[in-house]
Amino acid sequence: MRSLPLPLALTARLSPVVVLACAGWALTSGSSSPQDSAAEKTPKTPSGSASAPSSTAVSKTFTAAPAPCGSVAAKTVSSLVPGAKTAGKEIPSTDTTLRRTCSWNALKGYDYRWLDVSFELMDSDDAARSSYKERVSEKSGGGAVPGLGDEGYSVVNLATEDKQQTREGTVLARVSNALVVVTYNGSDFETKKAPSTDEINKGAIKAAKEAVASLKASAN
């Protein structure tokens, strides 16, 4: 079978992927005062001993990102990305405890498919909730996905370059302090058309549901 040139948009996706570092959140304390000065300012209990300051640590459901390449069943990968190696390829990350991503892609005949699954951990539920809302606002035009984590959203967009269509779906899900991000796209190089919105959306949601289940299992 003759080889086919990939459109620039897809070629770019096949180039080395640079994964942005997830920023850490450091808890800092104020500068300490001299010992005898601190003793004067510290409240005393009735017995005369200093009362210990109370502190509340932020409880995080997820402290490490699960292995992304095992988060989607092999039969699902084969269905969504025909011809791809079901083991997938994990993209290097600067901190695998905070972010991990796996990719599957293949060109079978004239049909091309690409699937990405990412896990991103935040310092707290509130931080994850804020990041989720920000991303949803950046990808307007989609809709909520009921039952997908604590919050779920999906959107599908069509792009055309050199008369070649590519349709891409993105699904975002928040589970406590973690985000699951799934990207799924496809093109047909023979017809120059893209798969239907329904096919891409359902495929992305299916992968997202399995990834969310894998994430929840990792906390047990």
CATH label of the domain that carries residue 88? 2.60.120
What are the two backbone dihedrals, phi and then psi, of residue 54, each rounded to the nearest 5 degrees? -85, 140
- Contact call for residues 184 and 80 (beta carbons, < 8 A): yes
Measured CA to CA in angstroms, residue 200 lies from 66, 81, 134 at distances of 25, 11, 23
Higher-pLDDT residue of 4, 169: 169
Q: Where are the beta strands (DSSP E) in the chain?
A: 89-91, 99-108, 111-121, 143-144, 151-161, 164-175, 178-188
- Of the candidates 98, 99, 207, 217, the one whose C-alpha atom is nearest the C-alpha of residue 154 is 207
Domain assignment present for residue 42? The answer is no
Residue range(s) defining the domain that contains residue 152:
65-218
Q: What is the mean pLDDT of residues 91-115?
A: 95
Domain assignment present for residue 17? The answer is no
Domain assignment present for residue 142? The answer is yes
Domain assignment present for residue 57? The answer is no
* Interval 155-186: pLDDT, tens: 999 999 999 999 999 999 999 999 999 999 99
Alpha carbon distance 141, 157 (integer Å): 9
Task: State the pTM of this model.
Answer: 0.75
Q: What is the mean pLDDT of residues 40-47?
A: 44
Domain assignment present for residue 6? The answer is no
Domain assignment present for residue 55? The answer is no
Domain assignment present for residue 188? The answer is yes
Chain centroid to Cα 14, Å, comes to: 19
Domain assignment present for residue 86? The answer is yes
Residue 35 has pLDDT above 50, yes or no: no
Quote the radius of gyration of the chain (alpha carbons, Å): 23
Alpha carbon distance 190, 111 (integer Å): 8
Number of domains in the chain: 1
What is residue 60's predicted lDDT score, i.e. its pLDDT?
85
Give me the percent of the chain exceeding a pLDDT of 90: 70
